[in-house]
Structure 1
Amino acid sequence: MPENRKSTLIVGASRGLGLGLAEALARRGWQVTATQRSPSPGLAALAADGVRVETVDIDDDAAVASLRERLGGEIFDLVFVVAGVATQAHEPLHAVTREVAAQVYLTNAVSPIRFADAFADALRPGGTLALMSSVLGSVSLNEDGGWETYRASKAALNTYARSFEIRHRDAGFGVLVLHPGWVRTEMGGAEADIDVATSVAGLVSVIEGRLGRKGIAYLDYRGETLAW
């Protein structure tokens, strides 16, 4: 890989925003490694154009450890954990089983940070650890209610992200907690405000503009700061 070619690991890229990010960064000249939980036709198409595809379930610690071993001593400028779920997101907490609520919390909050810790030493100094959050994770901006288990999981992710950054502050990389906008994906629905291309273009611009900066920021796809 040429010395000036940036590298990224996109975690959860089988479809939607993750797939869009893998494609956009590859087009911008990044060396892209993208993960799927199960076979993805979209990623298979990108693999033909040079994107490396790996399989991992972020809820499986052994699978994450195996991925870390397979990637060996590779160093990334960007590790972006996109993977997440919105199971029964429109139902209030009391209408969701404890098992579903717990799984949403684990997948959206616990697993991304555990993955980040497993790959923290694979980040180049001046690089970025990015986590796909949501404006719904903002406690202070919650004026409408709804999406209760999803909101809580993303608020927890934001909290964990701040602690993660403090623990790794001397490592030399920055942390971004990102809101992609309300996007027309399987999760966002057909009535969402923007398409994947618009969100991804904004996210890539924000990421590239923040490379080399330490600390933590909670930003949307336009680069605007969100209230925690």
Structure 2
Amino acid sequence: MTDRTALVVGASRSLGLALAGELAERGFDVVATVRGETPEALAALADRTGRVTVEHLDITDTGQIDALRERLGDRRIDLLFVNAGITDADVPAAQVPTEVFVEVMVTNALSPMRVVEGLAPLVPPTGTIGVMSSRQGSIGFNTRGGHEVYRASKSALNQLMRSYAARTAGDPRTLLLLHPGWVQTELGGPGARLTVAESAHGVAEVLVGHAHDGGLQFLDHTGAVVPW
């Protein structure tokens, strides 16, 4: 299949940047968003592939979401993937300042859903809407604690996507929540099992391989089901 377009929200570095590269290599024209200035690595990817264009978006700003929707016009987005997110200090929830709690929840749960709602009209019935979640958002898997507010934000994101799927029941588009694995990122640390490239490859495989499943699934980078 040719002439496919992917929109990767949050592609300035790490997993988002690597995923934009993976999708470009698979023949997608990629729209990659960044919050600030375009990083050199993303600019280099755009030059090298000829398939990547850069847009600017702060997902916590609803005006910017609306503006991006206007700039995209009637462009068909076969794959919308929201990767943007933040973490916080690994301390018990009661010790987290209120403003930090709000920032993490707004950035990781509310804002991705605003992006989904705002840009979904560009995704055709055969398209896919994906959001980067985490195994840490799984209530069933939480036997060790840690990163409590980050975990809660991903659990909230999962619940909001479940609500979105229920509210749009009958919509043939595929909805995916993805766990990227334990990755050598700021959150995962240098001792994590997966490199960024390995994780991005797996995430791309799942996004492409499950493109026409329909419904909502919570999967990891290997395609395995993650318990809610």
TM range (shorter): over 0.9
Distance 1:95 1:108 in 2: 19
What displacement does 1:124 show? 1.5
RMSD: 1.1
Partner of 2:136: 136
TM-score normalised to structure 2 length: 0.96
Number of residues of Structure 1 aligned to a counterpart in Structure 2 = 225
CA contact (8 A) 2:2 2:28 kept: no
Gaps of 5+ in 1: none
**1:151 paired residue number:** 151
Give the conservation status (yes or no) of the 8 Å contact 2:2–2:27. no
Contact kept, 8 Å, 1:93 with 1:148, in 2: the verdict is yes
CA distance in 1, matches of 2:126, 2:105: 30
> Please, which moves more after superposition, 185-194 or 20-29?
185-194
Q: Which residue of 1 aligns with 2:206?
A: 206
Conserved 8 A contact 1:165-1:174: no
Q: Is the 8 A contact 1:126 1:213 kept in 2?
A: no
Q: Which letter maps to 1:41?
A: E
Counterpart in the other structure of 2:172 = 172
Corresponding residue of 1:25:
23
Mapped to 2, the partners of 1:83 and 1:57 lie a distance apart of: 9
Counterparts of 1:46-195 in structure 2, within 5 Å, are 46-48=45-47, 49-50=49-50, 51-88=52-89, 90-195=90-195
Partners of 2:153 and 2:58 lie apart in 1 by: 18
Aligned-pair CA distance for 1:187: 2.8
Give 3-state SS (helix, strand or coil) of 1:13's partner: coil
- Return the alpha-carbon distance in structure 1 between the equivalents of residues 169 and 24 of structure 2: 29
Alpha-carbon distance in structure 1 between the residues aligned to 2:214 and 2:32 = 24
Task: Tell me the CA shift for residue 92 of structure 1.
Answer: 1.1
Q: Which ranges of structure 2 fall in alignment gaps of 5 or more residues?
A: none
| Structure 1 runs of 4+ with >4 Å offset | none
